[in-house]
A and B are shown apart, each in its own frame.
Chain A
């Protein structure tokens, strides 16, 4: 019998959103608890997914496959494998924490939480969809709430940031649409002889006919998908939307934006580009690795030059995502790609922590200018502790989770791109530089009397941060829960890419 756990996990927040929408005004105080309550089952299901996910089986699990639009042979096809499992867990966790973190939103509470839950559904959908059409719908569905969440609840320049974010991603998804159609018309389902959007069918080269056989089209499709995903990752030339979107978005939204949305790009590459166009993946690999390297170095240098704390963290995200791309573009071993997926998960957790911390300080001091602070460790020691841990995780200190993923990416990439990896390794110095410099300017040094009375971190904020902190430390010492989950699938993916002639 098909287990409907995936459909539940995707659409349950939508129910919550509906309830919130139709709550009468006087029950406004109920909205936040309902929003929170609608993400708790997600956590439970994520846990159930985690528990009975077969580690050794590389193919899709918890599959739900029913036909949806017969006319175009589009199926409602859900499934989870090693690559999407960590992402599903990450989304479930971060959604719960973000709602907890956005407790002090007071403007249009109804709109905020219903849009947020809609976003949650969209994100979950993207990670579980196995039909390109369904994938694309969830992908677009994500844009709408994000646009409003930034555009309405954002900071001073919110409209500019929201528009920029929206247009950038929209351009990306247009490219993706073109590629999608090319896949559709270039593929035929062996059983029924119809065109198909289904990833599993697109993945076996036998199903490709007509245009999808001709290398120029394949090259074009891969390029289109690459640009579409590069905007989302973001890789350097397409990244300028990220700092603006982050700076203007409210705390919880930039947590979700950095924590989950950035992973869509890399997830897309592994889910779509690699299995369907493996020969192109191999052809493009050096170029993508180079872009990854540029992102790492460029992101790190830009981060160092920032005055605004949130922008600094945004650029550090670009740099960390560069590691993912570098790790992913290696096919001669599985170490790199395992490191990449682990880095996606770890980066999600760490940036979430970083943005929550920025949120804590922004709520109190209403300024994010790094030089405006100084000596905060005196009156906010616990906060300094949390930030210290987050910064150390950010710069990849061994014993914390991101070191392992960064090390794996570097070690993996070293086999084929020796010089690039050595250059990428220099980033650990620059990253250490800007994180510690920020740490010093904010926390150390003489007590800045302007912030004399800043209250210590509140229990709620601590409740958001502690689970993340625990994960960062635990995964640092014992990363196997994630690694053995993704191992089988990635070995299969790499084999797939290498095997194709």
Chain B
């Protein structure tokens, strides 16, 4: 499939899931269950096949620079100004970056769809579920394939909507709905930043380029990016920095980084495959994708990059620390996702864009696997609480093995995917030169500690759930059963990917081709990143690799030691550091703080304006009304006395004379004749006189 012919099939990739969603959504109930599954899975499979075709088409293009396929569907918005014009097209761009993302989204997405068939067995709202899932895939694909920032924003909010719908899928429990709303609002806060960044970017370029750049499409933006530099700084920061920070605010909202991560743990209220797809593999990575996509912007402001890196590292460490104390399996995985995302942002922050994407891909594999594994565990044990599980190794061998593969991957044990990608990031961080001197080294240290913690809590999770004896009570024990093939199938495939995934991005020291790095090269062509690889000696790289493996091993040993060898120890430790444990267990009370700092004041303000509106303005209006009433009453009284008096007097006079004249009309004809003659005579006199 050569690129030119593929051009006109490109739009099918997002369109197929959309069609699937539309059909299931509208006709869902009437179609049989099998049809619903067929449509849902079929559409995603179709997209996957096309993505692969697209990937091959790209690879077939010889020169890396030319590897991009753009297909413009139609003109979305056109507003012709006096000189320039604001024109946005609905256009899809397939270049190495979006092709990789497409593969991840549709690939992992397809496995999760298959898994959902089994998982959602017996749930009445399945048509609606699959419709939402397809709609999500559509939005994600639009986000990834969009050729301009505004269309990406459509996808950006579209995934936000789908996560809202899917988190609150079982809406009969109020807190699921509340979790959904929380997710959407948090995303919306991020989108506020994103939109402000978008506007500032548009206007600075539009004005400075003499109304030439009016379409926000990446090609044009990349070309006109340097113009940003000479725009005069606002509030002391250079324009690119502000734009990048604003966009990064959007990213933190979407990818659950430090300030706006609170919605992700609550998002676990949704069905587990949803968490796997949205809150592990695809949606949360949108922020990373956006920064990599706009790397030419970020490179213009080192300050922004350092901020991204620092936030990433801090989030990694912070989330990992919380994950240690969580007892709900999905919560643990949620915090682990946040921490892994932190690593991606760290990688991107140190301009190792390729490494960030590489970690994104590997993370998609093993995190999806972990979530799906957790899903089958929950499916079997009918509880999320790991304290009620234990010893499931015997009952669910398939889930156990796949879970172990993912565990090794995420912990960063060499042959598995996690090791290569995380190590790549740590290596790049170590010798990155950011805004502040030595910041790279410090962040590397934080990252290393995070890696250790990750290994620790993952070990804790694995041991508590799979080893030891079952603590879930007799009745639950009988029901323990391995999940059906439709669920274990995807687990196995993802396990293979997690194992093999690492080899697509081998570090330079092994002199093997860094496939993914090379592939992404043209998109992220940049001065830092890959170049810095060469200058440092292989020894340093190997050394760092050894250190990170050591950290992982330490974490595993500590976890094994505490939870397997001396199971009573964690209890004792918990007693000793009671309050510390309480603080960490309750997520540093961040949720409560946010509630008090943001949510309650907003409601208070709104109630205040509501009362103000009713009270003051309405009061003013009503006061006006009452005042006029009183004035009119006053006038009325005065009017009653004087004017009325006069009027009544006139009325009485009229009545009096009326009465008398009435008596004149006796009805006797002759009296009338009298008046006739009298009238005649009076007239005659008048004539006589004048």
Contact = CB atoms under 8 A, between A and B. Distances in A.
A497 to B, nearest CB: 12
Contacts of A205: none
A484 B172 CA distance: 45
A439 B184 CA distance: 13
B420 to A, nearest CB: 37
Nearest to A447: B172
A434 B608 CA distance: 15
A425 B192 contact: yes
Nearest to A167: B625
Interface in B409-459: none
Contacts of B394: none
A282 interface: no
A430 interface: yes
B161 to A, nearest CB: 6
A193 interface: no
B195 A425 contact: yes
A392 B156 CA distance: 15
Interface string B183-199: 01100110110011001
A375 B78 CA distance: 42
Contacts of B606: 300-305, 430, 434
Contact of B82 (A334, A480, A484): A334
A444 B154 contact: no
B62 to A, nearest CB: 36
Nearest to B189: A429
A94 B31 CA distance: 34
Contacts of B192: 425-426, 428-429
A446 B79 contact: no
Contact of B185 (A403, A433, A477): A433
A237 B195 contact: no
Contacts of A425: 192, 195-196, 199
A285 interface: no
A368 interface: no
Contacts of B203: 411, 414-415
A446 B173 contact: yes
B195 A399 contact: no
B200 A334 contact: no
A284 B620 CA distance: 25
B509 interface: no
B615 to A, nearest CB: 11
Interface string B588-622: 00000000000000110111111101000110010
A375 B172 CA distance: 7
Interface size class, chain A: 35 or more
Interface string A461-501: 00000000000000001111001100100010011000000
B200 A414 contact: yes
A301 B81 contact: no
Nearest to B188: A432
B192 to A, nearest CB: 6
A410 B177 contact: no
A399 B609 contact: no
A483 B607 CA distance: 38
A445 B172 contact: yes
B174 A240 contact: no
Contacts of A411: 86, 199, 202-203
B79 A487 contact: yes
Contact of B188 (A303, A375, A428, A437): A428
A378 B125 CA distance: 11
Contacts of A479: 76-77
Given A414-B200, A425-B195, A301 B605 contact: yes
Given A164-B621, A240-B613, A305-B610, A398 B157 contact: yes
Nearest to A164: B621
Contact of A433 (B158, B196, B602): B602
Interface in A238-253: 239-240
Interface size class, chain B: 35 or more
A408 B172 contact: no
A430 B602 contact: yes
Contacts of B77: 404, 408, 479-480, 483
Contacts of B602: 304, 430, 433
Interface string A140-173: 0000000000000000000000001000000000
B481 interface: no
A118 to B, nearest CB: 28
B178 interface: yes
A446 B157 CA distance: 28
B580 interface: no
Contact of B80 (A418, A444, A445, A491): A491
Given A301-B605, A301-B609, A397 B199 contact: no
Nearest to A445: B174
B154 A445 contact: no
A237 B178 CA distance: 34
A176 B498 CA distance: 72
B81 A397 contact: no
Contacts of A397: 157-158, 161
B58 to A, nearest CB: 27
A316 interface: no
A304 B185 CA distance: 14
A302 B81 contact: no
A440 B185 contact: no
B1 interface: no
Contact of B611 (A303, A305, A375): A305
Contacts of A477: 76, 90
* B164, B177, B181, B613, most chain A CB atoms within 10 A: B613
Contact of B171 (A304, A377, A403, A429): A377
B153 interface: yes
B63 interface: no
B174 A392 contact: no
A487 B609 contact: no
Interface string A379-418: 0000000000000100001110001100110110011001
Interface in B604-644: 605-611, 613, 617-618, 621
A95 interface: no
B338 to A, nearest CB: 22
16 contacts: A239-B617, A333-B86, A334-B79, A335-B86, A375-B171, A377-B171, A378-B172, A392-B161, A397-B158, A411-B199, A415-B203, A415-B207, A425-B192, A436-B184, A480-B78, A495-B82
Interface of A: 164, 237, 239-240, 298, 300-306, 333-335, 338, 375, 377-378, 392, 397-399, 403-404, 407-408, 410-411, 414-415, 418, 421-422, 425-426, 428-430, 432-434, 436-437, 439-440, 443-447, 477-480, 483-484, 487, 491, 494-495
Given A301-B606, A425-B192, 10 more contacts: A305-B607, A378-B172, A403-B157, A414-B200, A425-B195, A428-B188, A428-B192, A478-B76, A480-B75, A483-B77
Interface of B: 74-82, 86, 90, 150, 153-154, 156-158, 161, 164, 168, 171-174, 176-178, 181, 184-185, 188-189, 191-192, 195-196, 199-200, 202-203, 207, 602-603, 605-611, 613, 617-618, 621
Which 7 residue pairs of A and B lie closest in terms of their CB atoms, listed nearest first? A305-B610, A444-B177, A304-B606, A398-B154, A445-B174, A301-B609, A444-B171
